[in-house]
Structure 1
Amino acid sequence: MTPTQLRAYSAVVRLGSVKLAAAQLSVSESAVSLHIGQLRRELGDQLFSRTAAGLAFTPGGLRLASRATELLGLQDITVLEVSAAGRGRRLLRVGASSLFAEHAAPGLIELFAGRAADLDVELSVRDPGTFEALLASRTVDIAIGPPPAVLDPAFAGRPVMNYRIVVVAGPDHPVVALRPSAAQLRDQTWLLGPSAAATVGAVPDLLRRLGVPEKNQQIFQSNAAAVEEAKRGRGLTPALSFAVAPDVRNGSLVQLPGAQCAVEASWYALTLADQGAPSAAAELSRFASTPRAIQAMMRGAGAKVGHFRPSVHVTLWS
């Protein structure tokens, strides 16, 4: 695969359209389609398909999207770091799981960055399985997502927030009339956000526990897009309970009953344990578990552009 192919694929992922990707890259639509076709043939994977709610990714397609944006974003990250240093500003690089980045990070970053006028925050979506390696290589300053199975002494960890994942479906979906067994759940179409492609986390754990095969999984550009498809009765989706509570109350979604349709989980902040960790990272780790921060995360307030400068990793949803 070539950088040109990855750039075309990344643009399609980010914009959700070959036409828009071609316009942004100043090339023809046929050129973008050619690059995507070459990637599909070389990797032996369809990568994505089109649905009414946008692009639905295969697990392999989402992994490629993450890797492509990571490679192509290195130059942008370097420019941002050099520019911030030249202007006498501090840069805090936050790596986060996709579920946290989409639902909780905007409110947290808005509140935290507003406390310091000289602070720029860069948020990137990362696989929680890579958190320790990213911190050790100083690629990120703090990582927030699922807790590590075992905390290495080289890292400092702090609980941030407990949350609950529930399985929901549209009111017209046949499964809502049942108390579905694990086998019945396993056979449904599952509408998933990017968190499903991670190696660890509440959503991957739920899918593994139920034994949902990859052929029954459709992965969308965001968890919100998966929820919208579920409202149309096109499948089941695991979602944050506080995020879908209004939809459950108004009847546009139904929460499925049973312990197998719910997962209790938590988010955890990791930093380096030594003094090399930036003070802003240690402060964010402490601040994230305060009542004010938790309220901001659950409220989901949008981040102000002046303080929130997402890297290309975040653009899996637009």
Structure 2
Amino acid sequence: MTPTQLRAFASVVRLGSVKAAAADLGVTEAAVSLHVGQLRKELGDKLFTRTSSGLAFTPGGLRLASRAVELLGLQDRTVLEVRAAGAGRRLLRLATTSLFAEYAAPGLIEFFADRARDLDVELSVHRSRDFESLLLTRSVDATIGPRPATTEPGVSTTLFLNYQILAVVAPDHPLTHTGQPGAALLRSQTWLLGPAAAGDAGVIPQMLRRIGVPEERQQIFQSHAAAVEEAKRGTGVSLAVSFAVAQDLAAGTLAKVPGRAVQGQGSWNISILAGKQAPSAAEEMARFVTTPRATQAMLRGRSVTHGRFKPAIHVTLWS
């Protein structure tokens, strides 16, 4: 049983056909079929059969699919750890939502990295619905985002920070003079939003669905800060984390839109593999992120340049 065979089989399982797996791996269909055939012969199991509705997997095939993903993830992780160890360093691969990456990650990571001088941090932004899969395949070491609706037995999740989302506008915006606006008036506004609004989970998409804001009234910017800056110009309504706009509200450069409909409560949770399966750096982060000093660092939002981290933090807001 080789990594190449397991990778071919895992692709067949994930994509549902040998043809799609071959295209994904950049090889011929015959090569994928050969690898699957070798696994069938070695394991003495058909693994799957073709039906009119697609592939039907045997119990053994399903067991192999799970184990293949685990083994391939472990292989990738081992390569990274060996390379880091050769340089005398550890690597923490952290996946977060765009909201956390922009508002809280800089302060947290700078403070955490200052405490662990042998540690490199690699930050990436993903949809929260993909977090458990990323963990279980060992594509990342820890995830930070909203609490998952269901938690796999092999994943440990800890709540560490609640936050509030507010609707904000320029001080002279009409919504500041109308009392508590109704749903119809809110739906007629131009909404200036960050990348979080493009997701399908989290407090901001939930608020937009609750109000019923039509897509044609939404303008999504490449960062949440850019959306808030546009709101300061009086062109629309933005949704922002309360601690990030506290100074603007106090200074009067922004005003809060009144009403419960335009307020939301969210939470940030850290997830790692359970049962001592997580790398030491992930376990350290899971402990550290719940401390008062970590909370202060996140709320303070200390300025961090990407060059501070080696390897540099790679953030893709539209992944």
TM over 0.5: yes
Map of 1:173 onto structure 2: 173
The letter of the residue matching 1:122 is: E
The C-alpha deviation readout for 1:103-132, integer Å capped at 9, x for no partner, is: 100000011111111100001111111110
The answer for the alignment partner of 1:94 in structure 2 is 94
TM-score, length-scaled by structure 2: 0.71
1:45-60 map, 5 Å: none
Tell me whether 1:207 sits opposite 2:243 in the alignment: no
Give matches, 1:79-228, under 5 Å. 84-178=84-178, 179-228=180-229
In the alignment, is the contact (CA less than 8 A) between 2:122 and 2:312 conserved in 1?
A: yes
Which residues in structure 2 correspond to 1:8-27 (within 5 Å)? Answer: none
Aligned-partner residue type, residue 315 of structure 2: H
Give the equivalent residue in structure 2 for 1:30. Answer: none
2:225 alignment partner, SS class:
helix
**1:191: Cα distance to partner?**
0.5
CA distance in 2, matches of 1:89, 1:98: 27
Does the CA-based 8 Å contact 2:123-2:314 persist in structure 1?
no
* 2:309 counterpart residue number: 307
Contact kept, 8 Å, 1:95 with 1:123, in 2: the verdict is yes
Number of equivalenced pairs: 240
Aligned-partner SS, 2:315:
helix
Distance 1:80 1:194 in 2: 30
Number of the residue aligned with 2:244: 243
Tell me if structure 1 keeps the 8 A contact 2:122–2:314. Answer: no
TM-score computed with the length of structure 1 as normaliser: 0.71
RMSD (Å), alpha carbons: 2.1
In 2, Cα distance between equivalents of 1:142 and 1:301: 22
- Name structure 1 gaps, 5 residues minimum: 1-76
Matched, 1:282 2:271: no
Seq. identity, %: 55
Is 297-306 or 144-153 further displaced after alignment?
297-306
Counting only pairs closer than 5 Å after superposition, residues 26-65 of structure 1 correspond to structure 2 as: none
Structure 1 residue 222: Cα displacement: 0.4
The offset of 1:184, in angstroms, is: 1.1
- C-alpha separation in 2, matches of 1:299 and 1:181: 34
How far 1:274 moved relative to its partner?
A: 3.3
Which structure is higher in RCO with an 8 Å CA cutoff and minimum separation 6? Answer: 1
The CA deviation at 1:78 is 12
Q: Highest CA radius of gyration, 1 or 2?
A: 2
- The runs of at least 4 consecutive aligned structure 1 residues that moved more than 6 Å come to 77-82
Task: Give the structure 1 partner of residue 258 of structure 2.
Answer: 257
Does structure 1 retain, via aligned residues, the 8 Å contact 2:195–2:317? no
AA of the residue aligned to 1:248: L
Alpha-carbon distance in 2 for matches of 1:259, 1:78: 49
CA shift, 1:309, in A, is 3.9
Q: Distance in 1 between matches of 2:143 and 2:266?
A: 16
Instruction: Give the partner amino acid of 2:242.
Output: S
Q: Which amino acid aligns with 2:286?
A: S
For residues 269-307 of structure 1, the C-alpha deviation after alignment (integer angstroms, 9 at most, x for no partner) is 011113321111111112111110000000001236343
Measure how far apart 1:183 and its partner are: 1.6
**Structure 1, residues 174-232: CA drift from partner, whole Å, max 9, x if none?**
12211211121112111011111122111111111111111111111100000000000
The runs of 5 or more residues in structure 2 that have no matched partner are: 1-76
Tell me, in whole angstroms, the C-alpha distance in 2 between the residues paired with 1:218 and 1:78: 42
Q: Separation in 2 of the partners of 1:98 and 1:142?
A: 15
Query: Partner letter of residue 151 of structure 1?
Result: T
The AA in structure 1 aligned to 2:105 is A
- 2:115 is paired with a residue of what secondary structure? coil
Residues 119 and 307, structure 1, Cα contact 8 Å, conserved in 2: no
